[in-house]
Structure 1
Amino acid sequence: MNFSFYSPARIGFGVGVRKEIGGYASCYGKKCLIVRTAVRDSRREQYYTEVTDSLSENGIEYVVFDSVDPNPTITIVNQGKELAIQENIDFILAYGGGSSMDTAKAIALLANNRDYSWEYCFNQFSDPFSDKDKTVKSLPILTITTTSGTGSHVTQAAVVTDLEKNEKLTLFHSCLFPKVSLVDPELMLTVPQKITAETGFDAMCHAMESFFNPRATILTETLSLQAISIIVESLPLLLQDLTNLQLREKLAYADTLAGMCLSNAGAEAPHPIAETINGYFPAIAHGQTLAFVYPNYVRHASSVIPEKIGTLLGIFKDYQPTGEQVTFSERAAITMKNFLQEIGLSLPFTFEGDKDNLIKEMKDKLCFNLPLTNSDKLKEILVQSL
């Protein structure tokens, strides 16, 4: 039962906790950069105003960077970095979903280390469990998450897209763990159905992959299985009742658990395969790219970790095929397809162009081995999924 578990973010969880951000932030400086998207609607702006009011009431000046796009790019991060430097920012506050948090983390790292090139960052900070230089620091990062899916509010990762190379790459370092993360389920009431499904499935994938990973411990396995169970039960119900605050709360809790597990145990094959797809198609939501991959991945994993897949199938019992004589691996794949159909993500990958050449380019980016999936199998799962 020996294990190590590290989750340094101070978490404030609950309805209305967004209004307390000023108190949490006051010890990190007097001027912050708020990183968010430009998406606006009246209800979201009411919530956001409560956040900025709390900052002002605590004597904190803020500058807004609202150029975040889904699957944020190097260009966007560079713009935010320059603004942070120009405004002499003390700390970064991410307000939004995974894209806002990824952008904020990358800005925090680069604004505090102005001589770092992107090539250096991607080479130096590529291992989630090996901080090569403990002296590396970023500006303090605080988050207020408005979706339930990415887990970025409790991880050491920042995902950035390089459009020139068609690559979606991840920076890992312990300095990218947020200092404070506020999780307010009320902020998620405005999330549309499709994004709710995509982010909810992303959170489930974090929990499943951290459960599958050989780095899993008795603690992460327990938390992963709890997160999976909550999402399997609650996500389909939430998609039929988007303003159900109790269900939003459950998804936010499961997302937080899954992120903690991911940061300690790590992902497996679906994430690098999905990120390879997103490198070429950044407009496709990350949760949807994972949905392309998962039925074929669990088919593969069934022969590698049958006991864990069996445990998973027990949680997905209502989605297993009935009355069919199928192999264990096919049962796993069909079960996953049935769940994805239930939440509206069982969509086929479509592409107009030279698909064979596209797949060849993607396969060339999967020349590495993972604990459960070698390079050849990564490529095979990619081909099957497209």
Structure 2
Amino acid sequence: MTNRSFLFFLPTKTFFGVGVTQGIGELCAQKRVMVVTTGLRRTGILNRIIREAGTPADLIVFDEIEPNPTCESVDKGGFLARVNEIEVIIALGGGSALDAAKGIACLRDEREELLDASSGIRSYLSGERAFTRRHTQLIAIPTTSGTGSEVTNVAVFSDPANRLKKSIVSPWFWNDYAYVDPELTLTVPDKHTAATGLDALVHAVESYWALSSTPFSEPIALEAIKLILDNLTQGYRNPEDRVARTNLSLGSLMAGIAFSQTRTTILHALSYPLTVDYHLEHGFACSVLLKPMLQTNAPLIPEKMARLLDYLGSPSLDALLERIEGLMQSINAPTRLSTVGVQEEELESIADQTMRSPITKLNPKSFTREELVDWLKEYR
């Protein structure tokens, strides 16, 4: 029973299962199509999706998206989509491709008078302006089990010149369609399986403990946590295990649905400087402090923790913490900031950047800047 009002909203029509991408053909028929992707040409996945789209004559492949997509690449994609009058954008890849496609679609459709060729998406990243519309149809096809971007209205962009990585939340970032086929994840390398799986796990855990959680988001987050904890090691060690891959894809999707309703919290805020300044892969940057933050938050949410332990079959918080530690060791994930190159004298800068993020306020433990510096010193 809750005494809080809340909203549950998910406009993305979502298909899950092996072979579901065959349905994209009818959406692309007689349309000018752009595929926004990363380096998928060698895997055969790109050619498969182009075939399933009906091999449109007016198809453009934009594959210049980097990990942690930059303002420059998103601006370039937006210009390309605009001048070619693209009608459908297929985002194919991991979170970088999916996030970039959201920005590209909105830049393609933004009113001319609101576009600034000298700043592009950078002005949206800084908060100077907000997107006002999108008409281009947006289809997301994830090839990793991690970001959940296919079912969220959030995208993260990087501005290396200004040492900035930041998320944008927009009602125009909801995909129209999402097609989640676990078979597309079978070729993901083990390290990337680990990082994206931990990203999904943190999405689910943060959604569950967030002060903004709801009676709808919490059970979805619980099941996502269980699916990922139960299957990530197996998916890492045996990448072609279809049962593990399917469960990880479902866990990632459910985690995305959960945090689309709640936002993430302080672990994601901490991850941004770790990614920008230490070039740590996003999932590892989010998860490196998962265990100590769970230990810190747990006493403040006793009822939630009791439900979590019961759902996972863990006899105690200590047992769950040991399970998380064991999981991270089994997939070679970092568990201390010191192991990824963070020096003690750099913790104040990390804390400053973290405290500027509004999502820190959704964490059960409220930190002052000084408290966060001390906490980081303790767990570095």
CA apart distance, 1:353 = 8.1
User: 5 Å matches for 1:1-386?
Assistant: 3-26=6-29, 30-41=31-42, 44-45=43-44, 47-56=45-54, 59=56, 61-113=58-110, 115=115, 117=119, 118-124=121-127, 135-137=132-134, 139-282=136-279, 284-314=280-310, 333-349=321-337, 355-368=343-356, 369-371=360-362, 372=364, 373-376=366-369, 377-386=371-380
* Distance in 2, Cα, partners of 1:279 & 1:346: 17
Q: Deviations over 1:217-237 (max 9, x none)?
A: 111111110111111112222
Q: Deviations over 1:277-309 (max 9, x none)?
A: 112134x21111122121221122123223323
Q: Deviations over 1:221-260 (max 9, x none)?
A: 1111011111111222222321111221111111111101
Per the normalisation by structure 2, the TM-score is 0.87
- Percent identity of paired positions between Structure 1 and Structure 2: 28
SS of residue in 2 equivalent to 1:68? coil
Equivalent position amino acid for 1:338 in 2: G
Alpha carbons of structure 1 residues 174 and 382: separation in structure 2 relative to 1, 3 Å: farther
* Distance in 1, Cα, partners of 2:219 & 2:335: 31
SS of residue in 2 equivalent to 1:366? helix
Per the normalisation by structure 1, the TM-score is 0.85
TM-align CA RMSD: 2.7
Q: State whether residues 122 and 159 of structure 2, in contact with CA within 8 Å, keep that contact through their aligned partners in structure 1.
A: no
Equivalent position amino acid for 1:52 in 2: I
* Distance in 2, Cα, partners of 1:273 & 1:257: 23
SS of residue in 2 equivalent to 1:214? coil
For structure 2, the 5+ residue unaligned runs are: none
CA apart distance, 1:276 = 2.2
For structure 1, the 5+ residue unaligned runs are: 127-131, 321-327
**Count of residues in Structure 1 that have an aligned counterpart in Structure 2:** 365
Larger mean Cα displacement after TM superposition, 174-183 or 104-113: 104-113
Equivalent position amino acid for 2:361 in 1: L
CA apart distance, 1:80 = 1.3
Alpha carbons of structure 1 residues 123 and 68: separation in structure 2 relative to 1, 3 Å: closer
Alpha carbons of structure 1 residues 336 and 170: separation in structure 2 relative to 1, 3 Å: same
SS of residue in 2 equivalent to 1:93? strand
* Distance in 2, Cα, partners of 1:72 & 1:39: 16
Q: Deviations over 1:99-158 (max 9, x none)?
A: 1101111111222225154453124499xxxxx88x533633211110111000000011
Equivalent position amino acid for 2:52 in 1: S
